[in-house]
Structures are given as structure tokens and as C-alpha cells.
Structure 1
Amino acid sequence: MYLENIVVDALDPRALGSFWEALLGTRRLTDGPEGLETRLHLSPAGGEDGPFLDLCFQPVPEPPREPLRLHLDLLGGSRQEQVVARARDLGARPLDIGQGAVPWVVLGDVEGNPFCVMEEREVYSGTGPIAALPLDSADPARDADFWSRLTGWVATDGVAGASLRHPSGVGPLLELCQEPAPKPGSLADGGKNRMHLDVRLEAGEDADAVAAEILARGGQGLDPDWGELPWRVFTDPSGNEFCVLPASSGD
């Protein structure tokens, strides 16, 4: 398996996807009724043969109302002011989420989703435009082990409770951060995370065996009323939703 997608719920996928595409310098893959998808290549040189992450903006009928448990931290460092200015030119606005006096800058994107532009941190060297993917966790060490198995990412130095990174050493950190409160609600009562991760099976991996391992490691299977789907929906041990996609035809 490997981490493939960052999926974001959007009232207007084209507007939200275009904002992030312009800010991150990604390459558009699709744009249609099912949403907008754009690709971030993780190689520092921008090569298209190495690892990547796809940002997928999918339509939802109502604005999200749950606290954000996964968000994007953008690389700022010595260019923090320029990145903030660029984001604001594209439509981002300052956001107060109770952060107080911190060295990073909190903004809301064009649909109000919080994101941060980070100060200089050595652990973010070479990440590319996304420095980190902070994910709320009830037990960062436990969940780091869970997500490492799912993604193939490995432990790395960081500032969170536990941090993972692509084994090539490029791209953002997946940061397991101590949650301020347990995840509220469920899919059935509108508690779905507005941003989640997708992993994809590789050729030869058995979906049933993977599902059994997810459950054995503390995850849970979900059966949302979304009709017949080619992927399976789960939560990690802290209740964060994710999808397991079938192997692609190119694998």
C-alpha cells in the first residue's frame, strides 16, 4: 500500500482546487462533476517519476461543521511572508482559531479551511510546498505504527508526538499530534472529517487480508450509505476516516 490522496470536501471543488493548485504549483489531473484532482510531485527537482500526492476536492452539499483534525502546514521558513502574501492574493484570509502568539501564520482558504504557513524548522528541510500533514491522534505512538504500516512511511525526526515521512526522505511529514479532544460524531451523524487520506493497494495485495490487518491493529470498518463503491472505508484507532483504494491498472 502507499499513500496516494489528500481528499478535501468542498462546496465548490473547482474554486477550492484552483486555489490550492495555484498556491502549491501542482498539476491538474481531472476536473469534472466528481471533483477536481491535482498532483504534487514530491521530488525536490519536480521530476514526475518519483513519489507524489494527489489532492482531490470532492463536492459536498453542505459546509463542514466539525473541528478540523487534519490540515496542511505549508513550508514558510525564510519565505514565510511571501507565502502568506501569495495565499492572501489568491483569496485566503487571516484566521483566529485560538492559536495566540505563535511563530506560524494561520489562514483560512477560500472555503474557510484552516491551514498554517510555518516558520523556519530544520525538520521541514526539503519537504516541498507542503511541510507537514498534522493529524489528530489519541495515541501518537500507536497511530504512527498504524499509519506506517498503511503507507510504508517511516519514522523521522519531528516536533509532533510522532512523525513519519516517505522512505525516500522527500515530501511532507505526516505528524501524529495529540488530539485536543476525541473525534466527535460519526459518518452517520455528520461527524466525517472534511479532509482525509486515501491509501492504494499495490498489485498482488489482497483487500480482505489488508482489511483484516487494519481491524487487528485497532482500526474499524465503515459501511456508509453511499451505494456500491470500488474502495473500502475505515477509521484509524483514533476515529479518523480513510479509504483503501484498489490497485490501479498500472500497478
Structure 2
Amino acid sequence: MALRLFEVNVKARDDSALGRFWAEALGWSVSSEAPGATSVKPVGSAWPDPAAVRVDVIAVPDPETVQNRAHIELATTSAAHHAELVARLKELGATPADGQGDLPRTVLADPEGNVFCVLEPREIHRDTGPIAAVVVDCADPRAMARFWGAAMDWTPHEVTDDHALLRSAEGVGPYLEFLRTPHLKEMRHRVHLDLAPYPFDGDGQAAGVARLKALGATPADAGRGDFPWKVLADPEGNEFCVLGPA
């Protein structure tokens, strides 16, 4: 069973505050169904629509700001929109981040230090919605594209030795990009992907997990307790979750 991208999971010291930041940043709705968990969702659309990928902010006790292997990139439609969005994000609490260089993007950090980018206008992102892409640093973009493309039945758009770009088979919603990163270090996984089976049930979860393991995923949830989700790691060790019914 091919699984579907459900959300980008972000760990935070204060899930409510960071959830409000991302809701304002994206123009989406914000809600909390349980203490320590805040969901930010597109208005007027619902999963499993691939354009309805949401951001889920989860409270964790460790407030340390760390470098992540994954980050969000935001789309803009014009130079004026880019300037307006960057200014508005700073008013909301974002701060400039190191590493921008001479690139067609503005690199910021959210109020908890998670780095993200605001891209200059690109034709490829004209219909993605506010999230243009989720970018994952990796050693081998081609191998990652094979694994994640098979895992979610997503279509490759560009695959080179330096980067790989995937998108849903329906051609809507954000891209998933794998970027070759020299001297890749072991990093904390405070930003990761959550997948879910459709239909959303236990049988689908079990079948999805078995399929992912056959593709090269490995269990990564030893000693974490009994939860309704399964924690796996992709072939490069990036953790992700397969959700199941609570």
C-alpha cells in the first residue's frame, strides 16, 4: 500500500505559540485537539487531498535549538510579495538566519530557531500553495528519490546527483526535495514527515509499514512506548512516522 503525506511534524517548546506563528505565516487555520499538540491546516481542504498537507506542532521538554535535516520553503508570486512576506514574518517573530549567501531565497528562523526559507518567485511553484517544498538534506538524492517515490507513489520531476524533486501523482501541493549535502552530520530530527494510510485504519498501517521495510526502512521506535504510530527511519536514517487510528 502506498502511503500519503499527512503532515510536516515540528517539535517545539511551546506548541501553541509556534502553531500560531505558522498559521499566520501560511494563512491557515489553527486548532488543538489535545494538550501539547497544535495543528495548522489549509482552509477549505481536507486530507487525503495532497494539497492539504498540514503542519503539526508537538511540544517536547527539550528546548534546545538544533540544526535539522529537513526544512520548509515558502513560495512567493512576485518580488513585491517576497518582500511583503519576509517583512510580515519578521513582525510575527521570525529572525534572519545564517547561511543565506548569494541565493534566490531569504533564510529565516521561526521563533523556536527552526530554519526555513522564503523563495523568490519561481514558475514551478506557482500552484503549490504557500508551502513550495519540504527540503531534506541527504548524501544520495537518487537513492532517496527511489525510496520516497515508491513509499508515497510520488512522481520524480528532476533527479540528478545533486538534488531530486518529487511531487504527488496528482500534480498538486508541495514538492519534496532531496538536496545533496557534503559532510552531512548526525542531526536531531525536530522536523520530520508523517505518513498515513488511506483508508486510515490499522490494517492499512500494518501493510504500509511492511511495504516500507521491504523498500529499506528500518524500525526506529525502540523503547519509546506504545503509541498509535510507528516510527521508522529511511535508508539515510531520517526518522518519520506512519500514523494509525488512535
Q: TM-score range by the shorter chain?
A: 0.7 to 0.9
**What residue number does 2:94 align with?**
92
Pairwise CA distance, 1:65 = 4.7
**3-state secondary structure, aligned to 2:10:** strand
Counterpart CA distance in 1 for 2:112 and 2:221 is: 28
Paired residue type of 1:243: C
Once the two structures are superposed, residues 76-110 of structure 1 have per-residue CA deviations (whole angstroms, 9 ceiling, x without a partner) of: 241110110110111111111x3322221011111
Q: 1:207 to 1:171 in 2, by over 3 A?
A: closer
Counterpart CA distance in 2 for 1:233 and 1:29 is: 24
**What residue number does 1:187 align with?**
none
Q: 1:47 to 1:227 in 2, by over 3 A?
A: closer
Query: Runs of 5+ in structure 2 lacking a partner?
Result: none
Paired residue type of 2:211: E
**3-state secondary structure, aligned to 2:53:** strand
Paired residue type of 1:200: A
Once the two structures are superposed, residues 191-216 of structure 1 have per-residue CA deviations (whole angstroms, 9 ceiling, x without a partner) of: 54110001011237544443333223
Paired residue type of 2:192: H
Paired residue type of 1:11: R
**3-state secondary structure, aligned to 1:110:** coil
Q: 1:106 to 1:120 in 2, by over 3 A?
A: same
Counterpart CA distance in 1 for 2:244 and 2:223 is: 19
**What residue number does 1:198 align with?**
194
Percent pairwise identity: 39
For the Cα contact (< 8 Å) 2:8–2:192, is it kept in 1? yes
**3-state secondary structure, aligned to 2:219:** strand
Pairwise CA distance, 1:141 = 1.4
**3-state secondary structure, aligned to 1:72:** strand
How many residues align? The count is: 237
Once the two structures are superposed, residues 209-250 of structure 1 have per-residue CA deviations (whole angstroms, 9 ceiling, x without a partner) of: 4333322322211124332111111001111100011268xx
Pairwise CA distance, 1:111 = 0.9
**3-state secondary structure, aligned to 1:225:** coil
For the Cα contact (< 8 Å) 1:200–1:247, is it kept in 2? no
**Does residue 107 of the first structure (1) align with residue 102 of the second (2)?**
no
Pairwise CA distance, 1:183 = 4.6
Counterpart CA distance in 2 for 1:81 and 1:206 is: 44
For the Cα contact (< 8 Å) 1:192–1:241, is it kept in 2? no
Pairwise CA distance, 1:127 = 0.8
For the Cα contact (< 8 Å) 1:77–1:118, is it kept in 2? no
Counterpart CA distance in 1 for 2:174 and 2:96 is: 23
Counterpart CA distance in 1 for 2:228 and 2:46 is: 27
Counterpart CA distance in 1 for 2:66 and 2:96 is: 20
After TM superposition, the structure 1 stretch with the greater mean CA deviation from structure 2, 17-26 or 76-85, is 76-85
**What residue number does 2:74 align with?**
74
For the Cα contact (< 8 Å) 1:156–1:163, is it kept in 2? yes
For the Cα contact (< 8 Å) 1:202–1:247, is it kept in 2? no
